[in-house]
Each structure stands twice: as C-alpha cells, then as structure tokens.
C-alpha cells in the first residue's frame, strides 16, 4: 500500500473524503455553530473570517478530510493528518470538529480508529494536541487509550500560541485496544 496523507477512508459509519477548496461552504455550514468551539483553543472559529484562516491551514496541510456520516449523508465535520515525521515514525491527528448533532454518536471514535488503522501501517505513534481547556476532547481521546505525555504551547495556523496537552497512542497500544488479551 502506498503512503498518502489524504487517501479516501471508509468504514460502516463514515467516509473520510479528502478536503478540497470547493468544500468550504459545506464545511463552514457545520463549523458556524458557536457551541462547537466553546472548549477549543480558539473559541472564535465559528466566525467566518476566523474559520477561513482555519480552512486555509487545512488545505495547506495536505492531510485534511471532510467527515461524511453514512447514515444521514451529511457532512459531520472535519479532521486531518499533519506534521508527519519520517525519522520519528510519527504523525499528528487533529484539528477535528463535529457538528453538535453528531456529538455522542460514536462518529468521533469511529473516525479516529479508521485513521489510526490506516496510518499505523506507516508510523509507530500518533500524537494529538488537545487544548488545555478542551475537557470533552481530553476525555474522548483517553477512552481510546491515549496517554498524556506532556504539555506544550502550540501555534495553530495563523493564530497565537495556546497551551495544549500532548497525548500519544503507539501502534502496540492501538493494536492491543482493538484485540484485548
């Protein structure tokens, strides 16, 4: 299998489709919900001008996806692979958000598991930056057996730095999580 940061991925619940610039309006229609961003490092991302910057960063990352809920056919949100490090055999997954109608549906865990099942063919660890005040995302990632390994100031594309917690899942932990002994 050939390595790509933006290959189409699919399971029984969702489709991760590579994000294109033509997707802006459809993605923003989801992202304009103020509640989505309440715990995120930049709570103003629901504003069009701020989200345009976020979207530009997604396009430049070369690893961004729109998340399509198969049951409804609607765009549920967006996520991405970024900062691939061949030497360290690591990559980050993040910049993830979902419309509130998809909260608590399992789509987030399904998307993360799908992304990790794919990317662990090429890397040994996946890292997540999660805003220090984003308790909902911290709890969610811990449920996937991610371990908090540190704290770091992170500069998001075109934004000021914000304190993030750094979580990691290794290939071994991921495979054990899928197939517990």
Please provide the average confidence, as pLDDT, over all residues in the chain: 93
Structure token pair of residue 32 = 């304009």
| Confidence at residue 123, expressed as pLDDT on a 0 to 100 scale | 97
Domain coordinates in residue numbering, the chain:
9-178
pLDDT digits (tens, 9 = 90+) for 6-53: 999 999 999 999 999 999 999 999 999 999 999 888 899 999 999 999
Look at residue 17 in the predicted model and tell me its pLDDT.
98
Q: What is the pLDDT of residue 180?
A: 55
9-178 domain in CATH 3.30.460.10? Answer: no
pTM recorded for the entire structure? 0.92
State percent of the chain over pLDDT 70.
97
């Amino acid at each position: 299998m050939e390595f790509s940061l933006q290959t189409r991925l699919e399971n029984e619940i969702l489709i991760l489709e590579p994000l294109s610039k033509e997707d802006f309006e459809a993605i923003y229609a989801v992202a304009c919900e103020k509640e989505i961003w309440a715990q995120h490092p930049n709570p103003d991302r629901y504003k069009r001008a701020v989200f345009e910057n976020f979207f530009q960063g997604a396009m430049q990352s070369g690893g961004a996806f729109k998340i399509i809920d198969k049951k409804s056919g609607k765009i549920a949100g967006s996520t991405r692979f970024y900062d691939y490090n061949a030497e360290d055999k690591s990559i980050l997954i993040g910049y993830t958000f979902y419309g509130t109608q998809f909260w608590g549906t399992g789509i987030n865990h399904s998307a993360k598991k799908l992304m990790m099942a794919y990317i662990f063919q090429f890397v040994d660890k996946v890292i997540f930056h999660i805003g220090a005040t984003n308790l909902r995302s911290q709890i969610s990632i811990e449920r996937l057996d991610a371990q908090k390994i540190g704290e770091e100031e992170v500069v998001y594309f075109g934004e000021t730095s914000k304190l993030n917690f750094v979580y990691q899942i290794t290939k071994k932990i991921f495979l054990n999580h899928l197939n517990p002994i």
